[in-house]
Structure 1
Amino acid sequence: MSADIQAWAGSNPYGVRAKIAEDRLRWELQLQVSHPPPLADWGFRFGEAVNHLRATLDNLVVAIARQSGVADEKQLKALMFPISGTPAEWKNRQKALACLADWCRNALEQVQPFQRPEYGGTLDEDLLLVLRDLDNRTKHHLQVKPDLAPQTIEHAPSVEFETEEGAAASVPPDTEVNIAPFEDGAVLLRHRTNGRIKSVRGRYSITAEVQVLLPDDRAFGVTDLLAALWEYTRAVMEHVIGTAEGAEGKSVV
């Protein structure tokens, strides 16, 4: 997906245009989108990756249970890797985890998000909670969007006025920066003047980022978030597997 996003970005899929208002007392920098991003495809693939990461944790718990001697298929089917944001949530999961050995439940408890309330200042910063909430959301729908942050817009405009008086009256410049949707015609900048504009020229640089919108409306770069989720999931699995091998004296597949 990262390669596809880079290929899309490398095809020069968007640009900008300056448009002067009819009264010539305002001009706008508008987004031009010639090649819209395939958001539906990227959203589906991101959701699949999230679901696979979540399933990997569930499969790990089932594998440990089987190697520990649990043979009841009903119990195994009900097993899943617990992700609890509070001690109360963890307590409510104990019945489903009763078939696991004490060492396994202890290992699972050690990696729970509620154990690290200081991480990032709030519980919702924990990546296991992010994985859980995204997995639940992707089963229904996922919001993936390219976003333009104001600080990624660099502009060096040159405005020519019809009169010297108009130019002098328009200092300092009155410029408004917008957080615009990624669509053709979206207004990125709006510049108001007190004198009539003759022409607008300039150089502009805009950086767009494909982002995923979390359930709490925080936005992160899609590939950066996937990489972080993968790394954290691997670290959690290594902790649990290491505990399992130490307790049972054999590897967990």
Structure 2
Amino acid sequence: MTDATNGQDPGAPPQSKGLGRRWVFGKDISSWPMQKVAHAAQRKAELESRISLWAAGFPIENEATLSEDRRKWETRLRVRVEPPSQEWSLILGDVLYGLRSALDACVWEFAHIDGAMPHKPNLVQFPVVRDPANWDKALRERLQSVPREVAERIEMVQPFNRPLGQVAVDPLVILTDLNNTDKHRASVSVSVDPHGIRQNVSVTFDSEEASERNAPPDITYHFPSLADQALVVDARFKDPVREVRGGVTVGMRFTVDAPMGKEGIGSLTSGLVQNVHDVLNFIAVGPASPEELAEMSGQNDEGWLPVDIQADESGRTFTTSARQDDSRQSS
């Protein structure tokens, strides 16, 4: 007789958490989840390519002007070609959906492994749980017929394993929130924001006294939303300026509104793709066994420098450092 939650035999001897059977995608279990990740990565590359193509056309210029009384100097943005933000946002939505559905597809495969059948298949999905008090319910409903070791591995990657202040920035939470926003509320918008101003400007006056009166310069830097004629730099002078040489360069950052604020689209999508790929592999393979950890640390192989492997409180993150062992060092 098996447990109704995860197909575990109540009479079976206890095992270390997450250890047990291992599966290989494409051999022991369908490669469909990993193909979804690969497709999401492909759409991510397409998004980056389209952004690069737009940027290569020099769609934005900086225009500097000196006021008639020569006491005010400004630099404004001139937008020659508007960014196709809506098109980019649609592609980003595809990336998010592909990654989230890869997680769900993986759980679905394991819920039907070896002929298993969930009693409420419409509830089966990859759970993302922020509060450990909600885990038991997620286990019963979302992982109904998933093998015990797989359910334990999924528990080990849950956001609630992080310190409380880091739960909101867990990649699984970010992915879930962005995907839900894109599906149920509004599009997840990709935007172009001025980011980083480099200045190479020299100002000359009619006299040394005027130069001294205007030191240090009275300059304000702005980081506006991308719009034609948006003010970027304005400088005010006490005396008329004879000449202004040089100018400023305004960098552009391609961002998306994430739970922790605006995030660069490249780093965000790269991180999410890598995280989902790693989570799927961990679910299929599980943590290293004590024997494997011993082998990795060199305890069973002469000539290897011993390594201390320390797990953090979650039991999932390991830090390593080499130990100096006199018995292994040459004299």
TMscore range, shorter length = 0.7 to 0.9
- Assess if the C-alpha contact under 8 Å between 1:155 and 1:205 holds in 2: yes
Q: Which amino acid aligns with 1:116?
A: R
C-alpha distance in 2, partners of 1:89/1:34?
51
Structure 1, unmatched stretches of 5+, are: 247-253
- Assess if the C-alpha contact under 8 Å between 1:50 and 1:134 holds in 2: yes
Match of 1:91 among 129, 136, 139: 136
C-alpha distance in 1, partners of 2:71/2:279?
59
Q: TM-score, normalised by structure 2?
A: 0.67
Match of 1:104 among 150, 153, 158: 150
- Find the structure with the greater CA-based Rg: 2
- Tell me which residue corresponds to 2:85: 39
- Does residue 122 (structure 1) correspond to residue 170 (structure 2)? The answer is no
**3-state SS of 1:85 partner:** coil
Matches within 5 A, 1:238-249: 238-243=281-286
- Does residue 182 (structure 1) correspond to residue 226 (structure 2)? The answer is yes
RMSD, aligned CA? 2.2
Displacement of 1:192 after TM fit?
Answer: 1.3
- Assess if the C-alpha contact under 8 Å between 2:154 and 2:283 holds in 1: yes
- Assess if the C-alpha contact under 8 Å between 1:31 and 1:183 holds in 2: yes
C-alpha distance in 2, partners of 1:184/1:25?
24
- Does residue 172 (structure 1) correspond to residue 216 (structure 2)? The answer is yes
Displacement of 1:147 after TM fit?
Answer: 1.4
Displacement of 1:201 after TM fit?
Answer: 2.5
C-alpha distance in 2, partners of 1:88/1:20?
63
Match of 1:137 among 176, 181, 186: 181
- Does residue 225 (structure 1) correspond to residue 276 (structure 2)? The answer is no
Displacement of 1:222 after TM fit?
Answer: 0.9
Displacement of 1:164 after TM fit?
Answer: 5.1
Deviates more, 1:156-165 or 1:138-147: 156-165
**3-state SS of 1:98 partner:** coil
Q: Percent identity?
A: 28
Match of 1:53 among 79, 99, 102: 99
Displacement of 1:163 after TM fit?
Answer: 5.5
Which gives a bigger RCO, structure 1 or 2 (Cα 8 Å, sep 6+)? 1
C-alpha distance in 2, partners of 1:156/1:100?
62
C-alpha distance in 2, partners of 1:40/1:161?
47
For 1:112-156, what per-residue CA distance to the aligned partner results, in whole angstroms no more than 9, with x for missing partners?
0111227xx52122111111111111113212211122xx21111
Match of 1:80 among 111, 116, 125: 125
C-alpha distance in 2, partners of 1:225/1:65?
30
Q: Which amino acid aligns with 1:142?
A: V
Displacement of 1:68 after TM fit?
Answer: 4.0
C-alpha distance in 1, partners of 2:134/2:226?
39
Displacement of 1:166 after TM fit?
Answer: 3.4
Q: TM-score, normalised by structure 1?
A: 0.86
Displacement of 1:204 after TM fit?
Answer: 2.6
C-alpha distance in 2, partners of 1:178/1:171?
21
